[in-house]
Every structure is written in structure tokens, then in C-alpha cells.
Structure 1
Amino acid sequence: MREQLNMKQTTYIILLSMIFTSCLVTKKYTRPELELSEAYRDVTLKDSTSLAEMPWNEFFTDPTLKDLINEALENNFDLLMAYQRVLAAEALFKQGKAEYMPTLSANLGVAENKMSNQSWMQGLSFEEYSLKGSLTWEPDIWGRITANKNAAKATLFQVQEDTKAIQTALVANLASAYFQLIKADAQIDLMHKTIANRKESFEVMMELKKSGRVNEAGVMQTKAQLHATEALLVDFNRMQKLLENTINLILGREYADIKRSQLNDINTAKSVETGVPALLLANRPDVRAAEFRLMQAFEQTNVARTSFYPNISISASGGLQAMDPSLWFNKDALLYNAAANLTQPIFNKRRNRTALEVAKAQQEQAFIDFKKSITGASTQVSDALINYQAATEKYKVKSDELEALNKAVTYSEDLLTSGFATYLEVLIAQNSELNAEINIIDIKVSKLTSMISIYEALGGGWRN
């Protein structure tokens, strides 16, 4: 009779807990309202097409660069570590989903007992064999398990977006370093050609000195100009080697020769259709990761709220116990136990309230970080657009400047030979021409890298 009463009480508690399940104390996440401008500073965008929606293997047209990116995606150390973080987050999310299920365990035991000779059993000894199973279940009364599961899910999504952000930065950094290496190659080629011309100029000045048209100072100035160009070659060679090391590190390998194209073979024509800033919420992995961090913090606040409410757990165990395993199948060997526990926190040194206050503060930090990521993303797009427009305008101006300087060098050299110009005028014209040629190479690559910056700032690079 007593056993029947206990079973009825346990059943009543279980049914009561089911009713409480509809009385969740947690809240549902909603995206916060954010005001987003329709323009990137002075650049108003009329269409919603975004470079970020273009896969990287379509955005980049150089086949050699594509091969390098593919290699980096397979071997880059940072990306490989990010993949492992995703696997860890997936495991934690699976664990969160499994918390709804009861815990089931089995135990097989053998015990040998010998009583004291001074006890009432006077040294009695016996063996005991048992086969037991136990089940424990915690109903999600207040939504704590659901909140923990949602937090793990948000963490998984955040880690996945972080991985995409790493890939975006990886593609952009590798492409930028690749174009910088091509620029160094072009500058080295320019230096070799210039040094050859400087040597010819030095020979000409030596002949002019013999004929009395220039003096020793003019010869030494020309020689100094030659050595200055040779020094520039040393700098560009150093830069070339450093860039090769950088690219090999990005590729996750020891030093090897880097295959690359020539600057004149690179296509710089690309339509800049960036889309409106609101698309950053959908395209930028780091912005999406920041929102998932906010969601995770929000769910942790839900978990902290549930700690103020009673914790209910239901357990049951049963099995077979006898002094001989052959007696297990006797009905008298059956044992069982069922229990329901309710624990209400009353005073625990303010731990629950502290946990809730900390969770709320961390949630507010995550919200601020989310707003900061959106603002920073919009600023990066604006900066990239400004740099791209400046490089485009400057390239045209510098091209006109170089054309004029080429003519100036030709005229001054002809006039020097005819005796109507000084060696100083020739040196000035030649130095100005060299600086303009270096600048042209630099600006051409700046235009390329600014396009990459726009692509990265809009969240491009993680779509294959």
C-alpha cells in the first residue's frame, strides 16, 4: 500500500512538472533595431549588387593566384585551427541537444561481506550479486536546458562565421601580398633597365668630358646617380624576398619559389557595385559572428534567470539482487526505487544574483560589440572606396606626368649633346622620370589592392 502511494506521488510530481513546462521564464531573442545609412560617406549607391556575393574564384582572374589561394585554403595554419574550433563547437552543440534526454546507466556488482565477531551477526560472511539500472531525468521546466542549447547553437554559428572571416582575411592578405610581389618584380626590372641606361649615360659623360663639354663634377654626379639606382635595386630585392617569405607562411609551407604573373598581364578592370550598407549584416562574417556572440550572451542571461526557480529532477532505479546469481530470476530478487526531488535556492551567498548581473553586463558588452562591428565595417568600406577612387584618379595624372617627363629626358639629353643644356638639367629630368615610373607601378598595384580591400570590407572571399 505504501509503495502504491509513493508511485502515485511520483506520478503526480511528473504530471505537475509537465504543466510547469509551459511556464518558461526565458525570453526569445530578437535582433536589435539599428539605424543604417544608405551611403558610404560621399558615395551613394544606387543598386544592391555586391562584390561580396561574388565567389573569390570569379573575383580573381589570374589562374596563378587562384592556385595559390586553393593551396592556402588547404594548408594555412590559422584556417586549419579554425576548422578544429568548429568541430569542437559542433560537439558542444550536440551535447546541448542531448540534455533533453534522461541519463541511463547500468551497474553489475559483486560484494563479499564479513561481519565483526563482536556484532550481533558474530562473524557472519556472505556474498552478494547485483545487476542494477538507473534512470535520471530533469524536465526543462523553466527553459534552462533550451537556453543552454540555444547558447551552444549560437556559439557554433559564431565559430563558423569566425572561420569564414579568417578565410576572407586569408584570401585578401594572400592576394595583396601576391600583387605586392608582382610590384617588386616590376620595380626590379625597372631598376635593371635604369642601371643599364645610367651606365650608358656615364660613358657619354666621360666622352663629353674628353671633348671639354662637361667637367669632372658632371661625371661624378652621373656616377653618383648610377650608385643611387643600384641602392634602390638592393631595397627592391630585399622587399621581394620578404614578400616571398610572407606568402610561403600564408601557404603553410617552408620556403619555395612563388609562381606569379607579370604586372602588365593583370586585368585591373572590375565594376565596383558595392551594394547598400544594410547588406553588411548578411555578407560580413565578422558582423554575423558579433551578432551570434550577442545571441549567445542573451541565452546565458536566460540561463541565469532560471537559477532563481526550483530545480526538479526525477530518478528511478531497479534491478536484481541476490546472494547467488542463479536466484536473480526469482521474483524476490527484484528491487526498485523511484524518487522526485525539488530544490529551491533560498540563500547561497548571492551567487545566483551575481551570475544574473554578470550575464546582463556581458550581454550589453556583446550588444556594443555588435554595433561597433557594423560601424567599423561601414567605415572600412568607405576607406576602401576612397582609396580606390584616389588611386584611379592619381593613375591618370601620373600617366600624363610620366609622358611629359619621358619627353623632357629626351630633349635634355639632345640639348646636352648639342651644348644647349647642362648636365644638371639632364640629371634632374632623369631622376624625375625614374620616380614617376616607380610611382606608376606603385599606383597601379594600389588600385588592385584597393579593389581587394573593397571586396574584403564587403565580406567577400568566403564563398567558393
Structure 2
Amino acid sequence: MNRNCLKYIFLLTLLSAALFSCRITKSYKRPDVNTNGLYRDQQSTDTATMASVPWQSLFADTILKSLIQEGLSNNLDLKTAVQKILEAQAALQQSKAGFFPSLSGNASVQRSKQSQAGLNFPPGININTLTTTYQAGLSTSWEADVWGKLSSTKRAALASFLQSDAAKRAVQTQLIADIANNYFSLLALDKQLEITQQTLKNRIQDVETMKELKAGAVVNGAAVVQSEANRYAAEVSIPDIKRSIRETENALDILLSRPPGPITRSTLTDQKVVIELQTGIPTQLLTNRPDVQQSELAFRAAFENTNLARTYFYPSFTITASGGLSTLSLKDFFNKSIFYNAAAGLTQPIFNQGINKARLHTAQAQQQEALNSFQKTLLVAGQEVSNALYAHETAVEKQDARSKQIIALQKSVDYTQELLRYSSATNYTDVLTSEQTLLAAQLSGVSDKLQELQAIVNLYRALGGGWR
């Protein structure tokens, strides 16, 4: 490579270095988002939040803990999310490789035969028209990151990688909540089945009692028939509860990546809240909620893609070089067979059929879409926190009144049954109404407890707990 060639390449390199200071890409800054009032009536200034508590500390039930751990180890959606991270990691490595020159090796043998009549040489001149060329060499190419094209590509790939990691953590927090909620639903169904089966036993006894009272002329045949219908009303609801139990077990098995089968579990009365329900402040959702982080990183990737689109309007600086050995005879392969060439140049787009403008407008629109999605994700996060807080508040509020209602209804059933035996001041319709109302209240009491437990789980997930 002669001195003039080296001089020109050196000058172009200096020029690219000077242009490097005139970058047209912008530095990323988190968009301004308003988090005031996201929790609605909750106006806390305390930054302590239950989201920072590991999930193992949220639950006291050791069986539930083992199920969650099994789900985290085996769940197929979580495994898929991990593979997405590996894909994004490979893309990031690829973007980093763009800063380095490419290097390719080649080796070839070419045999060609020229037409002697087509060479147009004078008569009497003999020339070998059959040649064999042997060639081996290396070629390289390098593009200087003058306008930040490669840097923007790398930053976009990094944002996508971090986005995939946030997506995996979002899957994990949702998985923990789904396993816990399905587990608590199973316990609630077990309790409702227990209540209904006990009610059925009581109503079977009621039928026998009504038959005895009819024999004693205390009640008529209508009371006996009504008691039988009341018994069957309780009995017919049992298969539906059992079906719900089976379906909930199967749903939980899917989360655990098991084939359908029974789920080992404790009881609803064994469940206890072991941590204080602290929400922190709304701004912490930006760092605690994986889906909010994922949405912001999607905006960041779109921001860098807009930077990348801008760089296509400016010239690219590329250096290429190749060299090796080329000869017509293998015996002379290493004797005076060296060849090389080097080139450096700037390529400025002038007329590109509007492709660069369309690329920029598309990137800007996608960036705005990503910003809108980020803002909506944050609003939805605040809504979920508010809903979970209020669901827990109302569940606790209902349970006190519900327990008093059940006590009063139990007394009502006892009193009406006694009056029916020894007085004509009542009839079986009053007993029937009291028993049906008592069963409904008992089942609703189970639902109230389930609402409280699920509200805690949903609040924990809504605040971003479960991935630490």
C-alpha cells in the first residue's frame, strides 16, 4: 500500500472524527409522566411498600409456597420468556459486532478458455487461450460510526434486551398471583362444599322430622313435600361445586405444567395475612412494576429507532481493503503473487425515492405510539392498585357484618323449627326461608374471605411484588 493511499485514508479518518462531534442523534430522557392521584383515595408519603417483600414472606401456607416454587421452575410461559431473553441477548451481541470491521477469507480456482478468433490478434501470433488462476486472500470492511447509526442500533438492541427481561419478570409476578388466587379459590370451594354437604345432612334430618310431625298432625303433607324439595335444592348444588373444584385444579395444574390431577392443599381457615399492606408512593410503580418498565423500555427502543432513522439522511464513511495471493501456476503461488487494494469513501444519499423520509416518519409515529402505551400502562397500574385496595377494604368491612348475619340467621332457623314443633304461630314456609337464607349467607361468607385473600395477592402484584 503506497504512501499516497495511506495519506488519503488518514485524511478521511480525520474528517470522520471531526464530523463525529456533530452527531444528529438525541440522548434519551425518561418522558414526563404524572403519577399524582394514581392510587385515588390513597395519599401516602411513606415509601415503604409490600412490593419489596419477597413472595416467600407474603404467604404463611407452606403448601402454597411449594406450589409457587414448582410453578416458577416448570411453567412453560416463564420458560418461553427466558428464551425471549436469549433471543434479545443474541441481537444485542450482533449490534455490538457492528463496531468492528468484518473480515472474510476466500480461496478459488478458476479455469477459463478464450476464443482465439474473438481476441482479434494479428495472424501468426500464438497465445495461450486456456488459463487456470489460483487465488487466496482476505477482505475487510469497516464503517465509522460518524452520525451515531451504530450506537443507536446498539442502544435500541439493549433496550429490547432489557424489555425482554422485564417481560419475563412480569410473567413471573403474574404467575405467582395466578397460582395463589387459584389455590385460594380451591380452598373456598372446599369450604363451600363442606357447608353445603353439612346443610344437606341437616335437611335430610328435616325431612324425617316433618314426616314425624305430619304423623302427629302438627303439619300437613305440604310441609313434608316442601322439606323434600328443600333437601334436593341443597343436593343439586353439590355437583356444580365439585365441577368447579375439578376445573380449578386443572387450571392450577396448567400453571404448574402438570397433567390434570388432584392438588394437595390446606384449608381456608388456616390462611393468615403475615405482612402489613403498604403501598408506597405511585412513583415507585416506575421501578417496581415489570410491565411498566417493559413499556418504558419499548418507548426507549422506539426512541433509538427514530435516532437511527435520522442518520440515514447523512453520509456514511466506509473503509474497505482486500489482499492475498494470485497466480496462474501453483509452483509460483508464493513468488511475486501478492495483490492488494484499499479504498475509503463517503456515501451521501441524494435521491432515495422518499425511503428515508418514510422511514423517519414511521419511526416517529411508532415512538409516539410507544409513549401512549407507556402512559396507559402506568394508568392501568394505578387503577389495579386502587381496585385491589378497595376490594380488600370492602371484604374486611363485609366480614364483620356477615358473621353477625350468620349468627342471627342460625338463631332464626332454630327458633322457627322450635315454633313449628310446639306452636301454630308459624309454618314450614318460615323454616324454609330461614334455612335458605342461612345457606346463602354462609356461602357468601366464604366468598368474602376469598375476596380478602385475593385482594392481598392482587395488591402485591399490582404494586410490582414477586420478582425479587
TM-score, normalization: structure 2? 0.95
CA distance in 1, matches of 2:51, 2:76: 24
TM-superposed deviation, 1:459: 1.1
CA distance in 1, matches of 2:413, 2:59: 38
CA distance in 2, matches of 1:151, 1:128: 46
Deviates further, 7-16 or 225-234: 7-16
Structure 2 partner of 1:365: 369
CA distance in 2, matches of 1:99, 1:326: 39
Kept in 1, the 8 Å contact 2:132–2:329? The answer is: yes
CA distance in 2, matches of 1:147, 1:372: 26
Structure 2 partner of 1:110: 109
Matches within 5 A, 1:172-187: 172-187=177-192
TM-superposed deviation, 1:3: 4.2
Which consecutive residues of structure 1, in runs of 5 or more, have no partner in the other structure?
Answer: none
Determine helix, strand or coil for the equivalent of 1:339: strand
Matches within 5 A, 1:291-306: 291-306=296-311
What letter matches 2:363 in structure 1? A
- Does residue 343 (structure 1) correspond to residue 342 (structure 2)? The answer is no
TM-superposed deviation, 1:27: 0.5
Determine helix, strand or coil for the equivalent of 2:144: coil
Distance 1:156 1:183, change over 3 A: same
- Does residue 99 (structure 1) correspond to residue 98 (structure 2)? The answer is yes
Structure 2 partner of 1:219: 224
Structure 1 partner of 2:88: 89
- Kindly report the root-mean-square deviation, in angstroms, between the aligned alpha carbons of the 2 structures: 1.5
1:6-54 deviation line (CA, Å, top 9, x unaligned) = 3322222122222222221111000112222156212222421111111
Kept in 2, the 8 Å contact 1:111–1:129? The answer is: yes
Which consecutive residues of structure 2, in runs of 5 or more, have no partner in the other structure?
Answer: none
Matches within 5 A, 1:132-281: 132-268=137-273, 270-281=275-286
Structure 2 partner of 1:391: 395
Determine helix, strand or coil for the equivalent of 1:34: coil
TM-superposed deviation, 1:110: 1.6
CA distance in 1, matches of 2:248, 2:349: 62
What letter matches 1:58 in structure 2? S
Structure 2 partner of 1:125: 130
- Does residue 450 (structure 1) correspond to residue 455 (structure 2)? The answer is yes
Kept in 1, the 8 Å contact 2:57–2:274? The answer is: no
TM-superposed deviation, 1:269: 5.1
1:75-113 deviation line (CA, Å, top 9, x unaligned) = 222111111111100000011111100001111122223
Structure 1 partner of 2:409: 405
Kept in 2, the 8 Å contact 1:38–1:45? The answer is: no
Kept in 1, the 8 Å contact 2:99–2:145? The answer is: yes
Deviates further, 116-125 or 377-386: 116-125
Kept in 1, the 8 Å contact 2:60–2:272? The answer is: yes
- What is the total number of aligned residue pairs between the two structures? 461
Structure 1 partner of 2:338: 334
CA distance in 1, matches of 2:331, 2:165: 56
Deviates further, 293-302 or 334-343: 334-343
1:278-309 deviation line (CA, Å, top 9, x unaligned) = 11001000111111011001000000100100
TM-superposed deviation, 1:418: 1.4
Of all paired residues, the percent bearing the same amino acid is 38
TM-superposed deviation, 1:238: 1.2
1:356-386 deviation line (CA, Å, top 9, x unaligned) = 1111111111111111111111111001111
TM-superposed deviation, 1:328: 3.2
Of 294, 316, 324, the residue aligned with 1:311 is 316
Structure 1: 4+ residue segments shifted above 4 A: 120-123
